[in-house]
Amino acid sequence: MQQFDLGLNLSTKKTRKRAFLEQMQQVVPWKDLVALITPYAPEGRKGRPPFPVELLLRIHFMQQWFTLSDPAMEEALHDMPLFRDFTGLSWDSATPDESTILRFRHLLETHKLAEQILQTVNELLEHKKLLLRAGTIVDATLIAAPTSTKNQSKSRDEQMHQTKKGNQWYFGMKAHIGVDADSGLVHTVRGTAANVSDVVEANSLLHRQEVDGYGDAGYQGVDKRPDVPKDMKWHTAMKRSKRKALDLLKPIPALQEQLEQVKSSIRAKVEHPFRVIKRQFGHVKTRYRGLKKNTQQLHTLFALANLWMTRGRLLGMAALKAAARA
């Protein structure tokens, strides 16, 4: 008999993974998300009762946080007590297999629930005054796709494309995001092939309530496109070659340089969500074939990234609320 058979945990060290899950346990709005998904979940009138929606949602989120495939997630649930604790599974209860995990993901994709998950999270953050809508910063990042043709179709993903950035070629897709200029939280996500120009998607990343929009030099000319809103102003960066040519000893070029520095400091917030999903969550390569599935995953990742970036303030608010009740 081993220690977990007795329900004992002799480890006294709180690992980073355990601390992370404890924080996300408190900041994720589980009740709201379960209420969102439950109407679409199978009722299980015949055969074995279905697993609870919250259990499958917790498993799905752990896949995003720890970059686990469906088979790897199933094995982790059997191997790691920490993951079973987070999902609420006891050692003698049935564990979802990889097919069950796959079907739940397909349920979210079929009904486009990932987009609604992002919307639900943002509504919570907006209610808590953590998400304002005065301005939007837009940017895009490349996400690599497998280039190998050693698969059943003997071909690369047809919806992905190659593009050149600097002197290097990339194959994959682009994640375009619109970020709140004040808080740095993501409110809009678009997924395209890698060869789609950033400026093409710029105005689709707006929520139409902002007054100002910010973008780097790749978005020059966005204010002249036919889909630009009438009541907002774009602030795009000066091209690098033109900025280097400024004579800072003259008053007007010096003022232009100061303005570029201010715009750069505002635009820097858009890099934080990319850092979270790529470095914190490890999402550096597409997991599925096709833009639809990968874009749905991006919506979930950025929803979780918003919660991760605001976890300190959310936990602080919860502590103050608990203290007030006491």
pLDDT given at position 2: 42
The pLDDT assigned to 71 comes to 96
pLDDT at 7: 56
Q: What is the pLDDT of residue 60?
A: 98
pLDDT score for 123: 95
Please answer whether residues 28 and 116 qualify as being in contact, where contact means their C-beta atoms are separated by less than 8 angstroms: no
Tell me the pTM. Answer: 0.92
SS3 string of 33-81? HHHHHHHHCCCCCCCCCCCCHHHHHHHHHHHHHHCCCHHHHHHHHHHCH
Question: Does residue 236 contact residue 219 with C-beta atoms inside 8 Å?
Answer: yes
Domain boundaries, the chain: 3-110, 133-316
Integer CA distances (angstroms), 25 to 8, 179, 247, in order:
22, 25, 54
Comparing CA positions, the residue from 121, 130, 111, 96 lying closest to residue 31 is: 121
pLDDT per position in the chain (326 positions), as tens? 344 555 555 566 789 999 999 999 999 999 999 999 999 998 867 767 889 999 999 999 999 999 999 999 999 999 999 999 999 998 888 999 999 999 999 999 999 999 999 999 999 999 999 988 889 999 999 999 998 887 777 788 899 999 998 889 999 999 999 999 999 999 999 999 999 999 999 999 999 888 899 999 999 999 999 989 888 899 999 988 888 888 888 999 899 989 989 999 999 999 999 999 999 999 999 999 999 999 999 999 999 999 999 999 999 998 988 888 87
Distance CA 230, CA 269 (A): 25
Query: Given this model, what pLDDT does residue 67 score?
Result: 95
Fill in the amino acid letter for 66.
Answer: F
